[in-house]
Structure 1
Amino acid sequence: MIKLPKTTRRHFLKNISYLSIGFPLFGFIRISKEENKALGIIDSAPDHLKKLQNVNAWLEILEDGTVKIFSGKVELGQGIRTAIRQVAAEELDLALSQVDVHLAETGVTPDEGYTAGSSSIPNSAMSVRYAAATARQKLLELAAGKLNTTTSNLKFYNGQITHKTTAQALNFAQVLDGAQINMEVSKPVPIKQKSERRYVGKPVPRNDIEQMVRGEKLYIQDMRLPGMVHARVVRPPAYQSKLESIDLSGVKANVKGILKTVVNGSFVGVITEKEYQAVKAERYLKQHSKWSAGKSFPLAKDLFSHIKAIAEPAKTIKNDGDFTQASASKTTFKASYTKPYIKHGSIGPGCGIALFDGEILHIWSHSQGIYPMRRAISGMLNIPEEKIHVTSVPGAGCFGHSTADDAAADASILALAMPNKPIRVQWSRQDENCWEPFGSAMIMELEARLSSNGKIQAWKSEVWTDSHSLRPDRDPATLLDTRYLEPSRSLRGRGYLGGGHRNADPYYSIPNMQVNAHFFDGPLRVSSLRSLGSYTTIFSIESFMDELAEKAGKDPLEFRIEHLEDERAKAVIRKVRNMCSSVRTGPLEGIGYAFSRYKNSAAYAAVGAKVRVDDENGEVKVISMWAAADVGEIINLDGIKNQIEGGMLQAASWTLREEVTFEGDQITSSDWSNYPVFRFSDIPEVQVEMIDRPDQPAEGGGEVSMPPTGAAIANAVYAASGKRVYSLPINPAK
């Protein structure tokens, strides 16, 4: 029997012992920031607490005295569940085993939007820290009353509050004694000092890794529900193709197990008893359907000239000083860089499961934003949001707007057509590679002038970019199916354009700087991909910084340090230089470096890369990579290193291998042979060192290593071969 929630969480909370914390933040700071810092007191609130002032249940204390934590973030392989468990256990003096973290379920956890932008630690984890620290103070006060003493006479450890003299002890549930406590934070919240911490900053391993290694059923692709049936969707041959006719008469005769075919406009789906039956039925229907021709893409060789031709007039993003005057009548250096469309390239294609029970549409999805996806599906199906229940289930990881939402939409449409059956839609590799929302192709043109002492006096960045976020939310057409259902709907807008020029303004101290962005509505479907536009902008900027250092006759790392005022930025550069100080290079080998501060406001990373260039075929082999990173206060040392290593490897694959290809109206990079990614044999030795700053705010690290990695490899290729490549990927022909 399928277990489905029968009550809302609000009703559930009425029937158990729990502590809920609300966060109206007015009057939050009562003493100076300096005093708060000295006392280890939080004096500013995470964004999610500011937005969720009326959400009063970040944590619950259950009847057995254990604690359940609620977060709206999803697990993408970044280890957020472990990090949140650490901060909660820390502030509540619990064993890690006494903390259960419930992630992303509509009606149960807070609506924290998307798990994106390296924001899970600074927002969700820090919100939980506030809640736990406040709960600790209140529990001490309540226990003191029950034990007839003062809080100073109490010891707090592993879920027990003990009288230091009498040894009387109460667990959390006994302190509450069936009561419900609703309170608001109205004073500064003291948090644990570094010297007192048991978990924060330590390398606590994730407990799901063993399940992955054993191949246990962890992902949505492995999920099976009683009575589950299977489905496939017949994709159009091209983006703009419309269904003209389809012969449904022979599919049951040729494929066993057909339960239902669903045709709505140009949406065609088939439901079968078993999975391979759905695969065969989809193939049959594709062969027995007729579609209109799609609009041809531009020729691949003309892509970047096409982008410039369709781009809107330049929009000035930044204009400090006077670039025009500073560069007038003086020699400037110029360079132009390009990056093709690239994929998420998830090893496991998208999957979605849905069940309509006659009243509620239940969805299981590896979406990175379950509440926004629910809003989009609500609009697509004209179903009230409260009639849709979404549960997050881990999927094969990839950061950004993947195919998870589209697979969930497929399953939802088919579940409504066949109630009371869990319907599983599994995408194919071809579906994944051809229909996912890609990372935008981009152009970046740079111009700079050096002074007589080799300092940059003027800098100009020109960026050409499509949108970097068309994630599902209030516009149903962000879901692929909405464009093919009858009546079809088009996108209402262009989404978040700002991600395209992210980090286009160098973090360096340059007196005259201008940044212009040229936005275009390109030929391929695009949306969020890990690090958004900053991978391209930093690849360009940091490649150019190496060129400028050479023009100035200076060491490339010292040249960067000379242009930085931020000591934390200088520290990661010096750290990575020290990591590479004993490394030697042979013939056709080179080491390159790059630096960035993600978003110019978050975490820092400097990357070094050693490569070898084959003198016969031009193949580039990455031998080693090093990274020094600063994410402020480290929550989980093991987790943050894993994220940085993973980001470096993904970026290395982008830099040397990946490019979406197309011809006519077809995406031709439909499998791994046409869209090669790094394999195990390509993986270099990777070393990561962290600079822990427990006195600084904790930042996310999921995207900090991506941007400088591409530039470090490009600079290493130049050091090895004397050839500078301006157009990604860096392949033998280039």
Structure 2
Amino acid sequence: MSGAPARPSRRRFLQSGGALTVWFALPLRALAAPEGDLPGSLGKAPWLDAWIRVGADNRVTVFTGKAELGQGIKTALLQVAAHELRLDPGRMMLVTADTALTPDEGYTAGSHSMQDSGTALRHAAAQVRQLLYERAAARLKAAPATLVLSNGVFRTQDGRRVSFAELVAGSDQHVRASAALPPAPPLAPGTPRYAGVTLPRIDIPAKVTGGRAYVHDLRLPAMVHARVVRPPSANARLLGVDTSQVARMTGVLEIVRDGRFLAVIADEEWRAVKAATALARATRWEVPAALPAGRSPADIVRSLPNEPQTVLDRGTPGAGGKQLRATYTRPFQLHASIGPSCAVAQLDQGRYTVWTHSQGVFPLRKALAELLGAPEGALHCIHMEGSGCYGHNGADDVAADAALLARAFPGVPVRVQWMREEEHGWEPYGPAMVVDVQATLDARGLIADWHYEVWSQSHNTRPGKAGNLLAATHLARPFAPPPPKPIPQPEGSGDRNAVPYYTLPSARVVHRFQPQGVFRTSAVRSLGAYCNVFAIESFMDELARAAKADPVAFRLRHLADQRAIDCVRTAAAKFGWEAYQRKPGRGRGFAFARYKNLAAYCAIALEVEVALDTGFVRIVRADAAVDCGEIVSPDGVRNQIEGGIIQSCSWTLLEQVRFNDKEVVSRDWGGYPILRFNQAPEQVAVHLLDRPGQPFLGTGEASQGPAAAAIANAVADACGQRVRDLPLDRARMRKLA
């Protein structure tokens, strides 16, 4: 194979797979125009065959524009379709996030996969099932209610049968989706359940057996390897580079220079690494002292211009009573992906193919087209998993590197693997944030007035434009990053979860959005919700103490949503809040939030052990209660909540970007430590509040904020001193001794 074949049409691709993926559209009456808005992502792709197709061997192919990021979405989405079609998931294949094949569902972000794609697939599969029922009834001359459906076959009471494949054979017309969800027929006796139960994750086997699990594992015939030589810092100016010796190194195929974009292509990966190291030594830079070294995150953030936006203004401020004020901060933080970003790209006969772990292959294709000066139709972006993500890390940037180098070295696949120092030094960071909050307690010990301001740079600079790609800003003719904009409420970005979920008679919330800042920033898992929930729930504990109230009881007095109340009570009960016995150096903490005030509910109670002499904080145990609507995969939900708690422990106890006046110095795991096993919770229990028939609610980012606040509240309970600045690392904790 000297190059990838030209990109086939969707129809030809499906035919080329033989019996497994013969293309079809149901040979039935076209449905009437949709009744109302189509649910989930159906509005973007309203044809049933964009989501569900039957093969000639009676297997079904399911399509989604969402990407597997380790959250188990492949398995959950298959379960949704399998449940509606009454089909064994083993007889199904899932295609994810491919610009030539799948619906365009934008980014896999914001805990939207089940809410958007899961809902679309539920409706599409149910409507396909309903149409097939009608067709089978006509073919078998039987009433639909008398048919039994199992594993792609309809059977009559007298033993006659017809399969999915027979019902769609030779058909080629689209069927438009309807907004209505057909009622599900009862399960036939002996038919297994595929939703609401835990099934084996389909993405796990390759990861534990050394298979091709990640884009990092992709090896294509004739593939070459590349490394990029980055400037020391964003403001560095290239003075000169001598490429003569590097060009003579064994295996070097090409040296690419375009402005400040420097790279080397070699026939083997290790040779590319050695050549890039030599090229870096042969490069001279001028590095200005442009970074605010030695200043606190609060000082840095407050010094930046801001655009105040009032996102909540309710009631009349100025109530009398006891006033409390506090300020909470979060530093710049990394995604710190375990596997540095990687991509493979190939230019063949004027067409680009890019294998990428981007969370948005369609927006990436648009950005790459602008970068390369090529039509979007000349680019095919295929998602493969990356080993570490949840947010806008270096995945899109390395895809741009690979595409530029494929253009410079056409005809063969070019693989670009970032190095650890690149990943830590150049990925978009999570913004530093500052929260100022003030509240008034009335004579009954209830919150009478609330004022909240949050300061933050952008949490949303994902590509869609070439200027959002790192390499594009380093070219001789650079692309300027487009001005960042905040995500509007109710989702929000820096102000995500800044509006309290509690019942407050008077409340004002202001988002001080900062379009420019010290570093390039973008989405880290949960965006501003992590800091906002940390601040709100820490302050709720401080208010409870001032009101001489139990922290759980104080929250319940301010909640009106019964599902929120159930969640709080469940977490407290499972933890044993009422019966908790204090031990020296230990404390308990509680926190609650509904992610984005419209997704999953999550309450966490946990216990910590604090050693002030060493500054070491250890999470002993945690109990989380979660309501995410109807649950498709119980173990998948538990995995997401447990993972979010662990990740939040790492952010809260350890993580912050460090820099001097010229450059970032957190370039390795020594400079940017993450959670180790000795600090991880000894026990995490996740208690699920299933709501059959209720809409899917995003789960993946529900636990990060509550975990951070519960840790801070437990630390305050253990040592009697409140820490309002993240992280609660050893250096900060030792100061409390």
Please state which band the TM-score falls in when normalised by the shorter chain: over 0.9
For 1:270-310, what per-residue CA distance to the aligned partner results, in whole angstroms no more than 9, with x for missing partners? 10011111111111111111223245111232442232122
Matched, 1:102 2:95: yes
Rounded to whole Å, the distance in 1 between the matches of 2:374 and 2:30 is: 31
1:306 alignment counterpart: 300
- Correspondences of 1:28-47 after superposition (within 5 Å): 28=35, 45-47=38-40
How far did residue 107 of structure 1 move?
Answer: 1.7
- Structure 1 residue runs of 5 or longer lacking an equivalent are 30-43
Q: Identify if the C-alpha distance between structure 1 residues 56 and 67 changes in structure 2 by more than 3 Å, giving closer, same or farther.
A: closer
Contact 1:28 1:185 in 2 (8 A): no
Contact 2:32 2:178 in 1 (8 A): yes
SS at match of 2:244: coil
Matched, 1:708 2:700: no
Contact 2:47 2:176 in 1 (8 A): no
1:477 alignment counterpart: 467
Matched, 1:602 2:587: no
1:353 alignment counterpart: 344
Q: Identify if the C-alpha distance between structure 1 residues 241 and 187 changes in structure 2 by more than 3 Å, giving closer, same or farther.
A: closer
- Correspondences of 1:193-232 after superposition (within 5 Å): 198-232=193-227
Q: Identify if the C-alpha distance between structure 1 residues 11 and 210 changes in structure 2 by more than 3 Å, giving closer, same or farther.
A: closer
Q: Identify if the C-alpha distance between structure 1 residues 578 and 22 changes in structure 2 by more than 3 Å, giving closer, same or farther.
A: farther
Matched, 1:530 2:530: no
Rounded to whole Å, the distance in 1 between the matches of 2:598 and 2:30 is: 25
1:19 alignment counterpart: 25
For 1:29-83, what per-residue CA distance to the aligned partner results, in whole angstroms no more than 9, with x for missing partners? 6xxxxxxxxxxxxxx6434212333685111111111110110111000111111
For 1:307-365, what per-residue CA distance to the aligned partner results, in whole angstroms no more than 9, with x for missing partners? 21223253212110122x325xx541000000000000100000010011122101000
Rounded to whole Å, the distance in 2 between the matches of 1:13 and 1:354 is: 23
Matched, 1:8 2:9: yes
Q: Identify if the C-alpha distance between structure 1 residues 431 and 191 changes in structure 2 by more than 3 Å, giving closer, same or farther.
A: farther
Contact 2:628 2:696 in 1 (8 A): yes
Matched, 1:492 2:482: yes
Paired residue for 2:265, among 262, 271, 285? 271
Rounded to whole Å, the distance in 1 between the matches of 2:670 and 2:694 is: 45
2:689 alignment counterpart: 691
For 1:661-719, what per-residue CA distance to the aligned partner results, in whole angstroms no more than 9, with x for missing partners? 01012101110011010122322111111100013111121000111000000000011
1:173 alignment counterpart: 165
Contact 1:603 1:700 in 2 (8 A): yes
1:611 alignment counterpart: 608
Matched, 1:569 2:559: no
Matched, 1:419 2:394: no
2:118 alignment counterpart: 125
Rounded to whole Å, the distance in 2 between the matches of 1:314 and 1:697 is: 34
Rounded to whole Å, the distance in 2 between the matches of 1:215 and 1:470 is: 34
Q: Identify if the C-alpha distance between structure 1 residues 186 and 728 changes in structure 2 by more than 3 Å, giving closer, same or farther.
A: closer
2:735 alignment counterpart: none
Q: Number of residues paired by the alignment?
A: 714
- If the length of structure 2 is used for normalisation, what is the TM-score? 0.94
Contact 2:96 2:102 in 1 (8 A): yes
How far did residue 13 of structure 1 move?
Answer: 5.6
Paired residue for 2:76, among 77, 83, 98? 83
For 1:113-142, what per-residue CA distance to the aligned partner results, in whole angstroms no more than 9, with x for missing partners? 000000000110110111110011111111
Rounded to whole Å, the distance in 1 between the matches of 2:131 and 2:668 is: 57
Paired residue for 2:383, among 392, 400, 418? 392
Rounded to whole Å, the distance in 2 between the matches of 1:305 and 1:623 is: 34
Aligned-residue RMSD, C-alpha: 1.9
Contact 1:625 1:686 in 2 (8 A): yes
SS at match of 2:448: strand
2:19 alignment counterpart: none
For 1:468-515, what per-residue CA distance to the aligned partner results, in whole angstroms no more than 9, with x for missing partners? 010011x21100011011201221211435400111111000000001
Paired residue for 1:375, among 366, 369, 372? 366
Contact 2:51 2:62 in 1 (8 A): yes
- Correspondences of 1:232-311 after superposition (within 5 Å): 232-253=227-248, 255-294=249-288, 296-311=290-305
Question: Which amino acid in structure 1 is aligned with residue 438 of structure 2?
Answer: E
- Correspondences of 1:514-553 after superposition (within 5 Å): 514-520=508-514, 521-553=516-548
Mean Cα deviation higher: 301-310 or 276-285: 301-310
Rounded to whole Å, the distance in 1 between the matches of 2:382 and 2:307 is: 43
- Structure 2 residue runs of 5 or longer lacking an equivalent are 17-21, 733-737
Q: Identify if the C-alpha distance between structure 1 residues 49 and 295 changes in structure 2 by more than 3 Å, giving closer, same or farther.
A: farther
SS at match of 2:114: helix
- Correspondences of 1:438-453 after superposition (within 5 Å): 438-453=429-444
Question: Which amino acid in structure 2 is aligned with residue 94 of structure 1?
Answer: L
Rounded to whole Å, the distance in 2 between the matches of 1:442 and 1:422 is: 41
SS at match of 2:730: coil
For 1:369-416, what per-residue CA distance to the aligned partner results, in whole angstroms no more than 9, with x for missing partners? 000011111111111100001111111122010101111110100001
Mean Cα deviation higher: 200-209 or 579-588: 579-588
Q: Identify if the C-alpha distance between structure 1 residues 346 and 22 changes in structure 2 by more than 3 Å, giving closer, same or farther.
A: farther
Contact 2:39 2:179 in 1 (8 A): no
For 1:631-685, what per-residue CA distance to the aligned partner results, in whole angstroms no more than 9, with x for missing partners? 0000111111101100000001000000000101210111001101012232211
Percent identity reads 41
Contact 2:48 2:175 in 1 (8 A): no
Rounded to whole Å, the distance in 2 between the matches of 1:301 and 1:177 is: 69
Rounded to whole Å, the distance in 1 between the matches of 2:661 and 2:433 is: 21
Contact 1:661 1:669 in 2 (8 A): yes
Q: Identify if the C-alpha distance between structure 1 residues 24 and 642 changes in structure 2 by more than 3 Å, giving closer, same or farther.
A: farther
Paired residue for 2:668, among 644, 668, 671? 671
Matched, 1:502 2:502: no
Contact 2:398 2:416 in 1 (8 A): yes
How far did residue 187 of structure 1 move?
Answer: 6.8
SS at match of 1:678: coil
- Correspondences of 1:66-77 after superposition (within 5 Å): 66-77=59-70
Q: Identify if the C-alpha distance between structure 1 residues 633 and 45 changes in structure 2 by more than 3 Å, giving closer, same or farther.
A: farther
Rounded to whole Å, the distance in 2 between the matches of 1:699 and 1:95 is: 25
Rounded to whole Å, the distance in 1 between the matches of 2:298 and 2:355 is: 40
- If the length of structure 1 is used for normalisation, what is the TM-score? 0.94
Matched, 1:651 2:644: no
Contact 1:23 1:49 in 2 (8 A): no
Contact 2:486 2:513 in 1 (8 A): no
Q: Identify if the C-alpha distance between structure 1 residues 252 and 528 changes in structure 2 by more than 3 Å, giving closer, same or farther.
A: same
Rounded to whole Å, the distance in 2 between the matches of 1:482 and 1:468 is: 20
SS at match of 1:68: strand
Contact 1:314 1:518 in 2 (8 A): yes
Rounded to whole Å, the distance in 2 between the matches of 1:81 and 1:479 is: 28
SS at match of 1:682: coil
Q: Identify if the C-alpha distance between structure 1 residues 677 and 187 changes in structure 2 by more than 3 Å, giving closer, same or farther.
A: closer
How far did residue 579 of structure 1 move?
Answer: 1.1
How far did residue 190 of structure 1 move?
Answer: 1.8
2:184 alignment counterpart: 192
Question: Which amino acid in structure 2 is aligned with residue 339 of structure 1?
Answer: R
Rounded to whole Å, the distance in 2 between the matches of 1:639 and 1:229 is: 37
How far did residue 17 of structure 1 move?
Answer: 4.7
How far did residue 217 of structure 1 move?
Answer: 2.4
Matched, 1:636 2:628: no
